[in-house]
Amino acid sequence: MSFVSAFITKDFASIMSDGQITGENKKAVQEDYKKIIKVNNFLIGFTGNSTGPVDLIKKAVGETDSSTEMPFLSKEILLLLIKELLNKYRKIRHAKIHVVVIGFNEGKPSINTISLDNSEIYEQKDELEDNGYRLITLYPSDYRLENKSEGNKFIEKIEALNGENITLYTIKKIQNDINNFVADNSNTANKHIFSEYVKNGRLRSELKKMRNLNI
């Protein structure tokens, strides 16, 4: 199932995953499979028991992004595309795919999770409170971070940070530590890490305008 962690504030979003693909015998069959992609202002992470849907989404998102006339692929089209592609796998018995999409939609933080489980597609949208943050984890079936007391220390690290210390560097370091901890406690995740991030371009643009106006 592998492991993905996604973190977002009003200023930036960061996503990180391991690289292991696990076979039916619970042994690794690939150590360097990238389970995250960056699409303009959005970051997408995947876990599940098949790489087929992930490869299909990766290819379709790339083709759609390059073929549309819009300079940026909108969140609505992106989510619709993911759901349509997951729908192709609903008839496959025992198919389980989990997708997290975070980023900035017209300057506003956006958090969506989509899952295919038991031939049903589930979608959840989360809001980000003012000056808040969210940590979303897609965890392996043999380990769940929130239910293990040993893993709470990483959640506590983030909760202990004040606004000034929630930097991209700090969060990526914590995500790296979380990934390595999960890899030490799961047979389906490893320490071959992939990461991507995006910054809120709308905020940077507004701050630049304010500086130009001496506000």
Q: Which amino acid is at 83?
A: K
**210-214 average pLDDT score:** 49
Pull the structure tokens for residue 125: 């949208």
The answer on pLDDT for 124 being more than 50 is: yes
Number of H helices, E strands in the chain: 5, 11
Distance in angstroms (rounded) separating the CA atoms of residues 77 and 74: 5
Question: How high is the pLDDT of residue 206?
Answer: 45
β-pair partners for 99? 46, 114
| Residue 210 confidence class, pLDDT cut points 50, 70, 90 | very low
Alpha-carbon distances, residue 65 vs 16, 20, 60, 208 (angstroms): 22, 27, 8, 28
**34-57 average pLDDT score:** 86
pLDDT over 90, % of the chain: 37
Question: How high is the pLDDT of residue 209?
Answer: 47
**37-46 average pLDDT score:** 91
Does residue 191 or residue 72 have the better pLDDT?
191
Does residue 164 or residue 95 have the better pLDDT?
95
β-pair partners for 42? 39, 103
Question: How high is the pLDDT of residue 1?
Answer: 63
Structural contact between residues 121 and 84, judged by C-beta atoms closer than 8 angstroms: no
Question: How high is the pLDDT of residue 161?
Answer: 82
Query: Is 0.75 surpassed by the pTM of this model?
Result: yes
Does residue 24 or residue 120 have the better pLDDT?
120
Give every CB contact of residue 127 below 8 A, 6+ residues apart in sequence: 111
**26-43 average pLDDT score:** 90
Does residue 96 or residue 201 have the better pLDDT?
96
The answer on pLDDT for 50 being more than 70 is: yes
The answer on pLDDT for 66 being more than 50 is: yes
Alpha-carbon distances, residue 193 vs 3, 145, 176, 178, 198 (angstroms): 10, 17, 8, 11, 17
Q: For the chain, what is the mean pLDDT?
A: 83
Question: How high is the pLDDT of residue 141?
Answer: 77
